[in-house]
């Protein structure tokens, strides 16, 4: 019998941890046969309330909640933070269980990329070569790493719904396009960005911020709020972006980019559209952390 959404099907005290692909498929098979709706929340661990919000969304809509916990090496560039990326599996398991997760899929690297793995999934269409995908930044290779691991997780878990965060707006747009183009039989849900009380977007990488930089980092969300407010007040994206730049400069932050783009196609836009949300995306290095954040400005209704 399949439980109703909101109920956990496995042990409530601790999410069950599964390391192998076959073991995961075996654990899910009876539930799938019984018609259970399976929700997947892909993560790289070191959970915070942003991750937990995705787990809660999955718990409220699905019969079985699977969280993957895998620091995916192929989405890190050679000079990025793979080696020092924060990890705490025990704490993650506790938080995942408390959020109602049934299964935590935490494979090792060889399980995911066995010797000879030679296939990747790449989304083009201008989505992966702009913003973070610009070759001078993380580059398209970053998104190739993301889409390859997410496609593999979709094939391993077979979810009905997969949950992602708006915090990583470009990633969400790229994954939605992949799902559409490759006909993955699932629905992608993108949940709002969860923030600290002062506005800083939650991120596992915030642990890299020293005290003074933690205070400066709030300028990113402040800049985005100013941008939205001014853009809407003056019906001008230029005015909004100028207001954002002032906030960043006041905190001595030089953004890697601060751009207005169509939220779905990621093409540049220069004015607020009618009927299409505009994504304002920012990335900046603040002390030891490279931070990204964004806001969606809904269209002005005529």
Active site residues: 51
Does residue 165 interact with ligand AMP by CB under 6 A?
yes
> How does DSSP classify residue 256?
S
> Contact at 8 Å (CB) between 201 and 167?
yes
Kindly tell me which of 49 and 236 has the beta carbon lying closer to ligand AMP. Answer: 49
Question: φ, ψ for residue 57 (rounded to 5)?
Answer: -60, -45
Please name the residue that has the structure tokens 């001014």. Answer: 230
Our finding on whether 174 is near ligand AMP (CB under 6 A) is: no
- Tell me the residue nearest to ligand AMP as measured from the CB: 165
Choice from 147, 148, 204, 230 touching ligand AMP (CB under 6 A): 204
Instruction: Provide CB contacts within 8 A for 251, sequence distance 6+.
Output: 216, 218, 219
In the complex, what is the shortest distance from the CB of residue 231 to ligand AMP, in angstroms, rounded to a whole number? 22
* One character per residue 218-247, x = contact with ligand AMP (rule: CB under 6 A): ------------------------------
Instruction: Select from 12-20, 189-197, 231-239, 248-256 the region that touches ligand AMP (CB under 6 A).
Output: 189-197
Q: Which of residues 9-48 bind ligand AMP (CB under 6 A)?
A: 43-44
Stretch binding ligand AMP (CB under 6 A), from 79-87, 123-131, 163-171, 276-284: 163-171
- When asked if residue 104 is in the footprint of ligand AMP (CB under 6 A), the reply is no
Q: Give the sheet arrangement for strand 16-18, strand by strand.
A: 16-18, 103-105, 64-69, 38-43, 161-165, 187-191
Is residue 168 near ligand AMP by the rule CB under 6 A?
yes
Mark the segment that binds ligand AMP (CB under 6 A) among 102-110, 120-128, 198-206, 244-252.
Answer: 198-206
Q: Name residues whose C-beta falls within 8 Å of residue 84's C-beta, 6 or more positions apart in sequence.
A: none
Q: Could you tell me which of 263, 249, 265, 270 has the C-alpha nearest to residue 295?
A: 263
Please state the closest distance from residue 239 (CB atom) to ligand AMP, in A.
Answer: 27
Q: Tell me the two tokens of residue 109.
A: 């690297």
Q: What is the size of the binding site for ligand AMP (CB under 6 A)?
A: 17
Residues in the chain: 302
C-beta of residue 89 within 8 angstroms of C-beta of residue 45: yes
SS3 54: helix
Q: What angle do CA 174, 89, 137 make, to 5 degrees?
A: 35
In Å, how far are 23, 78, 141, 154 from 75, measured between CA atoms?
25, 10, 7, 17
Minimum separation from the CB atom of position 301 to ligand AMP (A): 27
203, 206, 221, 294: which one contacts ligand AMP (CB under 6 A)?
Answer: 203
Place of tokens 């992602």: 164
Question: Taking CB under 6 A as the criterion, which residues in 42-101 touch ligand AMP?
Answer: 43-44, 50-51, 53-54
Among positions 101, 193, 230, 294, the unique one binding ligand AMP when judged by CB under 6 A: 193
Sole binder of ligand AMP in the list 59, 144, 167, 214 (CB under 6 A): 167
Give the whole-angstrom CA distance, residue 33 versus residue 281: 42
The footprint of ligand AMP (CB under 6 A) covers 43-44, 50-51, 53-54, 164-165, 167-168, 191, 193-194, 201-204
């Amino acid at each position: 019998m399949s439980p109703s959404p909101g109920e956990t099907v496995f042990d409530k005290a601790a999410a069950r941890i599964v390391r192998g692909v076959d073991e995961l498929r075996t654990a899910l098979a009876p539930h799938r046969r019984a018609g259970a709706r399976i929700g997947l929340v892909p993560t790289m661990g070191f959970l915070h309330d942003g991750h937990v919000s995705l787990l809660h969304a999955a718990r409220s809509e699905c019969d079985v909640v699977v969280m993957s916990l895998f620091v995916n090496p192929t989405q890190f560039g050679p000079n990025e933070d793979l080696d020092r990326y924060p990890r705490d599996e025990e704490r993650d398991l506790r938080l995942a269980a408390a959020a109602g997760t049934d299964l935590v899929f935490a494979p090792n690297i060889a399980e995911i990329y066995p010797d000879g793995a030679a296939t990747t999934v790449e989304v083009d269409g201008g989505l992966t070569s702009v913003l973070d995908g610009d070759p001078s930044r993380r580059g398209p290779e970053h998104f190739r790493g993301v889409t390859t691991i997410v496609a593999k997780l979709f094939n391993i878990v077979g979810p009905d719904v997969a949950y992602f965060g708006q915090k990583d707006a470009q990633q969400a747009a790229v994954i939605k396009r992949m799902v559409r183009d490759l006909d993955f039989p699932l629905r992608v849900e993108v949940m709002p960005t969860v923030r600290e009380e002062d506005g800083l977007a939650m991120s596992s990488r915030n642990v890299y911020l020293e005290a003074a930089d933690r205070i400066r980092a709030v300028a990113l969300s402040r800049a985005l709020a100013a941008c939205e407010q001014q853009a809407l007040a003056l019906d001008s994206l230029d005015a909004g972006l100028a207001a954002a730049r002032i906030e960043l400069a006041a905190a001595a932050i030089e953004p890697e980019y601060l751009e207005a783009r169509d939220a779905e196609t990621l093409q540049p836009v220069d004015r607020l559209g009618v009927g299409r949300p505009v994504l304002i995306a920012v990335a900046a290095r603040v002390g030891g952390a490279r931070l990204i954040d964004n806001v969606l400005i809904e269209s002005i209704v005529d």
